[in-house]
Amino acid sequence: MSLEHQHKLAALHKYISTSSNTTTLMSSKTPLAPCHHVVPFTVVFTLLALAFLLYRIKGTTAMKKELRWLPPGPVGLPIIGSTHRLISNKPVFRWIHRLLKEMNTNIMCLRFGTVHVIVVSCPEIAREVLRKNDAIFASRPITSASGSFSFGYKGSILSPYGEQWKKMRRVLTSEILSTALERRFHGRRAEEADHLVRFVYNRCNTAANSNVDVRHVAQHFCGNMIRRLMFSKRYFVEPSVASAGAGPGPDEVEHVNALFTLLNYVYSFCISDYFPVLRGLDLDGHEKVAHGVMAVLNRLHDPIIEERLHEWSTLRKHGEKREMRDFLDVLVSLEDSEGQPLLSFEEIKAQTAEIMFAIIDNPSNAVEWALAEMVNKPEVMEKAMHELNTVVGKGRLVQESDIPHLNYLKACIREAFRLHPYHSFNPPHVAMKDTTVAGYMIPKDSHVIISRVGLGRNPNIWIDPLEFQPERHLMSCSNVVLTEPDLRFMSFSTGRRGCPGVSLGSSVTMMLFARLLQGFSWTKLPGVQTIELKESITSLALAEPLILQAEPRLPVHLYESM
């Protein structure tokens, strides 16, 4: 109870006791009978007074509700708020996490110009945003980078809530990510998993000391996989030499780098996003980077998309159809109720880019970190190998159908998602109306960002949060999955804007991990005592790409028959 209420109660108490003293005095002078009327009067008066007090307390609370405060946060300057601190505190995500710690809060409000950025760093409040108030927070911000990367919000991931988002999300969930198509393209994914093993095997036989750059392998596995699913090609220009075991060419390297750059810049606290009048001046250089990324994606994607549009338009003219070979065929062949193409060139470009960048970062980063942690913890590595030996054995290669039985391996990936997310924050969710979260006022148009490390490394949720302990995920369930709808850490998120690619994302991640572990023994380079598990200064990725020695551990014919 507030001091103000305590004073009010004391005053009321005093008033009531004064009144009762008066009645007592009166009663001594008046006949007993009237006294019988005095007692009920005191009771009635007291009840009325209490009712009045309760009404006042309720009234004040209601008023307070209306004037509810914003979450705590640094005091900003007039007009610009804390925008100046975006310049002096790079990388911004580390500054925000320092502030959360200094202010000892799980919810914080930063003001950049007129935009309130609400940072959430505990599962309970995250659930309030993404589950309880899911419908209110179902939009995304308009930013310079997200506008370019989505060709003017023609796709789904980056689009604000509205008809375009609904249309493209429907296309993704019911066409591209349908169970039927996933089953149909199983062969493609299996071929890529074989290619991965063949590539590492060749590295073992050719590279000095069988050194393998795990980051390179993991990122390019994801790149190859998604190009195969999207365009039916691993290479933009097929190499003239037989490609068995060949690595990425310059275009593929440029492609994967562009996708990672896009992900690193898409929501990166660009000043002109809070002061749109500054757009074009490119004060922090983000616009130039975004143009560079788009130039690469357009150069590599456009000719393929144009050719396919032409092919399907010819088929349409002749009233013909053919089987869907890949995701692009699906996008290009979709028709509206009048038999016209459902998606425009821009929409297809936007959706293609989105599918590409949706899959590139999380699987590769999780597998790189998991391997780094496991090489430092032989007991964890041993348990994983034991599981693979028991469930799959050494006589065949692990397949997608084995994944349901590889609980310990899935627990390792969950642990990597928990402890080492690629992004420090979830993509921002925008409040579509004024609301309250954790008792604080969240104004309409606020950007809510959920800290992934705030969830995954939260000491109130996890024992020894900085320790890599896959066992913690085995305790609560017999069938381990990579999703975490309770948001005790962030994997695929939840709610209306949650990830629709859970099934594809899980199988790509698990096949990458399981094939690398089953196919090879991984050890530190000679002279290295332990792998330094240091994060990069500018991101949550390992500071240096993980380089390990790999040794084939299966019968030779398994590698050579692929």
Of the candidates 392, 384, 389, the one whose C-alpha atom is nearest the C-alpha of residue 480 is 384
In the complex, minimum distance from the CB of residue 367 to ligand HEM, in angstroms, rounded to a whole number: 10
Q: How far is CA 104 from CA 2, 100, 454, 466, in A?
A: 23, 6, 12, 19
Residue type, 466: L
| 485 contacts ligand HEM (rule: CB under 6 A) | no
Report DSSP letters for 261-321, one per residue.
HHHHHTTS--HHHH-GGGTTT-TTSHHHHHHHHHHHHHHHHHHHHHHHHHHHHHHHHTT--
Of 231, 462, 492, 559, which one interacts with ligand HEM (CB under 6 A)? 492
Of 136, 388, 490, 540, which one interacts with ligand HEM (CB under 6 A)? 490
Treating both helix axes as pointing N-terminal to C-terminal, what angle do 362-376 and 214-231 enclose, rounded to 10 degrees? 150
Of residues 170 through 209, those in contact with ligand HEM by CB under 6 A are 172, 177
Binding residue count for ligand HEM, defined by CB under 6 A:
25
Question: How big is the chain by its Cα radius of gyration, in Å?
Answer: 30
| 448 contacts ligand HEM (rule: CB under 6 A) | no
In the complex, minimum distance from the CB of residue 492 to ligand HEM, in angstroms, rounded to a whole number: 5
Nearer to ligand HEM, 426 or 458 (CB): 426
Of residues 273 through 332, those in contact with ligand HEM by CB under 6 A are none
| 146 contacts ligand HEM (rule: CB under 6 A) | no
Choose the binding region for ligand HEM from 23-31, 471-479, 490-498, 523-531 (rule: CB under 6 A): 490-498
Residue number of the CB closest to ligand HEM reads 501
Instruction: Answer yes or no: are the C-beta atoms of 316 and 309 closer than 8 Å.
Output: no
Angle at 487 between CA 359 and CA 83, to 5 degrees: 80
499 annotated among ligand-binding-site residues: yes
Of 73, 456, 501, 519, which one interacts with ligand HEM (CB under 6 A)? 501
Cβ-based neighbours of 205, under 8 Å, separated by 6 or more: none
Nearer to ligand HEM, 516 or 558 (CB): 516
Instruction: Answer yes or no: are the C-beta atoms of 497 and 358 closer than 8 Å.
Output: no
Instruction: Answer yes or no: are the C-beta atoms of 18 and 42 closer than 8 Å.
Output: no
Instruction: Answer yes or no: are the C-beta atoms of 119 and 437 closer than 8 Å.
Output: no
| 499 contacts ligand HEM (rule: CB under 6 A) | yes
Instruction: Answer yes or no: are the C-beta atoms of 78 and 101 closer than 8 Å.
Output: no
In the complex, minimum distance from the CB of residue 259 to ligand HEM, in angstroms, rounded to a whole number: 12
**Residue holding tokens 């994801």?**
222
In the complex, minimum distance from the CB of residue 88 to ligand HEM, in angstroms, rounded to a whole number: 29
Instruction: Answer yes or no: are the C-beta atoms of 465 and 455 closer than 8 Å.
Output: no
Helix (H, G, I), strand (E, B) or coil at 9: helix
In the complex, minimum distance from the CB of residue 242 to ligand HEM, in angstroms, rounded to a whole number: 30
Residue type, 449: I
Nearer to ligand HEM, 263 or 271 (CB): 263
Sketch the per residue contact string, 349 through 378, with ligand HEM: x for CB under 6 A, - otherwise: ------x--xx--xx---------------
| 491 contacts ligand HEM (rule: CB under 6 A) | yes
| 136 contacts ligand HEM (rule: CB under 6 A) | no
| 493 contacts ligand HEM (rule: CB under 6 A) | yes
288-291, Cβ contacts within 8 angstroms, sequence gap of 24 or more: 289/261, 289/265, 290/144, 290/145, 290/148, 290/149, 290/262, 290/265, 291/148
How many residues in total does the chain contain? 562
Choose the binding region for ligand HEM from 39-47, 263-271, 487-495, 532-540 (rule: CB under 6 A): 487-495
| 259 contacts ligand HEM (rule: CB under 6 A) | no
| 505 contacts ligand HEM (rule: CB under 6 A) | yes
Of residues 396 through 435, those in contact with ligand HEM by CB under 6 A are 426-427
Nearer to ligand HEM, 73 or 155 (CB): 155
Nearer to ligand HEM, 173 or 314 (CB): 173
Q: Which residues are annotated as a binding site?
A: 499
Task: List contacts with ligand HEM (CB under 6 A).
Answer: 130, 156-157, 169, 172, 177, 355, 358-359, 362-363, 426-427, 490-493, 497-501, 504-505, 509
